[in-house]
Amino acid sequence: MGRSSVLEGSHAITDLYDTQRGTILAPFPLWLVLGLGISGVIAFAMVGFLGYPGDPAIFKNPWELYLWFCALMITLLVSIFRNRALRGQLIAILIIALFWVIVVYVIRSPTGIIRQFLQRYLPLLADEQLTYVVINFAIIIIFWVDTIRRWIRRANGLRLHPEVDLSTGERIDDKVNPEDQPSMAELIAGDLIAGSVLTGLLSLLFVPQVMNHIVITHPPLGDCNLAVSFPPSACLTQGVQYVTLNFLDQTQALAYIAVGLLVLGLAALLGGLGSIGGAPLPIGVAKAVSEVNAEGAPVAAPITTGVAETVLDALRAAINRRLRELAMGLGRSLRNIVWPILLFVATYGIYYLSVGIQGYLHAPHKDLNAVLTFIIPAAIWGLVSALSIVFSAALVLFDWRVADNSLRFLGLIGFIVLLTFWIFSLALWGFNVLLEQFNEHVVRPFDPPSWATAVSFVALVIFGGYVLLRGGRRPAAPPRQPATVGAGARRVNTAPMNTPPTDGQASQPTSPQE
């Protein structure tokens, strides 16, 4: 990702945490904090007390907890893109996030209302060949539309992507110095390599072995469902020829990488020839070659050695100068595809985080085995989800500052949750014991308290004790000299007692008659 345009020590419009003062820059409304807190306790209680055999089928999966974690995700995204200048990015990322929330529900809830609706009124979507053909080539078309737009902007001397100044919120879309832009050859080569990566990933995705874990159909998807034939799905008829999406994507990936490397090689070759006057050089490469030659390129060596050394220096200068730009180009070319995928990973991880918590609460014995079976995988999924949300938001603006500050903010919130979790856990335990007073056969998801309760309380004791000890060891403040106060007095003598006046310093009277 690109380096932030925000000066060190200043605040970006996406910052959530002031690292210098240790304060939150976007304080949450009281109603939001109370709403999320109370609804979170209710969600944990419902997941713990419901979902057992004999309960309504709607409570079989931990949808209450899943929706609560999704609400936290939405809150985080809105907080990052809260500035009015980022309204377009906020709308786009919220639409994709809500879309994935629904998609995960459809995938993981075969008896859900939405899936029943789709199966009843849109029966061809799941096993229709055209569905996967449209999705596959829509992704590729989106990539190439963005890529061609970048080429046009580069030819006109504009920034490859309009940017937002994170310190002011102003949109930056003006012409730039050609030295700061990759040449057209390097840009084309980088985008072709990025296209090769994209189509290579698609070739691994659209195969029956992978898609049958994502889409559940009866019978399972086969090569014909993930193929191109005319008319669509005609390959289901015996004897009709078809071409699989896997083959088409692999062919594109190989073609893009071959052409991309060829263009990159020709650009490097022109750089070598141009350094000795054999071909024109782009402005940036010419400057880099001059800097390399200024370091002491061999001039007294035999001509063959000199030419070879110059070519090597030119190639090294071109590659070194463009290596970061090439990586940045790959990232920019793929970011509009990667950040929605990261949001899907985050939402999918939230579901399995909720499943892990439900499994632990429903476990008959909350011992070490239950922790290893449910809590550890849930914690891993939670970490993956948090990282995916943050990096997805950072890719939307293509700025590392967003990820860095958001991760610091999440670390601070996580620390607060760690210190206070035991209180909520004991509250749910007390509620569980209260229900046992009326029905001894009631389930006991919170009785006894979990291991996390003890960890949270110990963390509070350790950090609280450290703060108290550190506060008790602070050196005492020096005694202050009592001030002589009189009517109309304006000066106060704060010099230490028994301290002689320095040379040239006159004693200052403190009486009103000075």
**DSSP secondary structure string, 375-411?**
IHHHHHHHHHHHHHHHHHHHHHHTBHHHHHHHHHHHH
Find out whether 319 and 132 touch, Cβ atoms under 8 Å. Answer: no
Mean pLDDT of 122-145: 80
Q: Is 316 exposed, middle or buried (0-12, 13-18, 19+ CB in 10 A)?
A: middle
Q: Where are the beta strands (DSSP E) in 234-350?
A: 243-244
Residue 355 pLDDT grade (very low, low, confident, very high; cuts 50, 70, 90): very high
Residue 62: its pLDDT value, please?
92
CB atoms within 10 A of CB 452: 17
Q: Is residue 122 over pLDDT 80?
A: no
- Residue 219's pLDDT is 75
Half-sphere CA count of 204, side-chain side, radius 13 A: 6
Per-residue pLDDT tens digits for 370-381: 888 998 999 999
487 falls in which pLDDT band (50, 70, 90)? very low
For residue 483, pLDDT over 50 is answered with no
Q: Which residues contact 187 (CB under 8 A, 6 or more apart)?
A: 150, 151, 154, 160, 181, 329
Identity of the amino acid at 216: I
Residue 359 has pLDDT above 50, yes or no: yes
Percent with pLDDT over 70 in the chain: 70
Predicted model pTM: 0.66
Q: Which two tokens stand for residue 413?
A: 């919130």
Distance CA(210)–CA(86), nearest Å, equals 36
Residues β-bridged to residue 175? 158
Q: What is the pLDDT of residue 456?
A: 87
The pLDDT value recorded for residue 44 is 93
Asked whether 154 and 184 are in contact (CB, 8 A), the reply is: yes
Please report the pLDDT score of residue 309 as a whole number: 44
Query: Which range, of 25-39, 46-60, 265-279, 472-486, averages the lowest pLDDT?
Result: 472-486
- Please tell me the predicted confidence (pLDDT) of residue 333: 67
Helix locations, 18-86, DSSP H: 30-49, 63-80
- The model's confidence at residue 234, banded by pLDDT at 50, 70 and 90, is low
CA distance 332 to 1: 8
Which burial class, exposed, middle or buried, applies to 442 when counting CB atoms under 10 A from its CB (0-12, 13-18, 19+)?
Answer: middle
On the question of pLDDT at 351 being above 60, the answer is: yes
Q: What pLDDT sits at residue 484? A: 45
Query: Over the stretch 419-460, which tens digit does the pLDDT of each residue have?
Result: 888 888 898 888 888 888 887 778 888 888 888 888 888 888
Give me the mean pLDDT over the 476-503 stretch: 46
